[in-house]
Amino acid sequence: MKAFESTTKNIFFTSLVSLHQAETNNTNKANVTELQASHSHSGWDFLRPLRNWLDTLKVGDRQFAHRVCRLIPPQCPFERDVKLFGKVLFHIPPMCKLNPLYEEVVGLRFRALCYLADECGEDISQYC
């Protein structure tokens, strides 16, 4: 059994219990509603211009596409199992998804790979 499996279940259970207790108490009900409303309307997204720029960035140069594929790894480099004497002590989950620009960066890498394969006709197996 990996440590993250039971941790995820405990976190889910704890948050479920907390929400259930808050809903049963009428005085806390207004506070929960205010918190949800403020979270759903977070206001202006200050990373939106950068996200739009990354999404609209065209890959039209072979060297640029190779550079993007070399710089952006195909999988998270931080995910790993910590072992001692052949036994897994704990698992470090991938933290790349905590990056607020993760989807846009992965999309840019995908567009670069597609450009190299489709337009340039190159073998992209070295980047996979």
What's the pLDDT tens digit per position in 40-81? Answer: 445 678 899 999 999 999 999 999 999 999 999 988 888 888
Q: What gap in Å lies between CA 39 and CA 34, rounded to an integer?
A: 9
What's the pLDDT tens digit per position in 2-21? Answer: 544 544 444 444 444 444 44
Q: Is residue 121 part of a domain?
A: yes
Among residues 14, 32, 15, the alpha carbon closest in space to that of 23 is found at 32
Residue 112, helix vs strand vs coil: helix
Q: Is residue 28 part of a domain?
A: no
Amino acid identity at 60: G
Q: Is residue 100 part of a domain?
A: yes
Q: Is residue 123 part of a domain?
A: yes
The H-or-E segment that residue 71 falls in is helix 62-71
Q: What is the pTM of this model?
A: 0.60
Q: Is residue 116 part of a domain?
A: yes
Q: Is residue 120 part of a domain?
A: yes
Give the domain range for residue 62: 55-127
Q: Is residue 109 part of a domain?
A: yes
Q: Is residue 101 part of a domain?
A: yes
CA geometry: angle 10, 11, 13, nearest 5 deg: 65
Count of domains forming the chain: 1
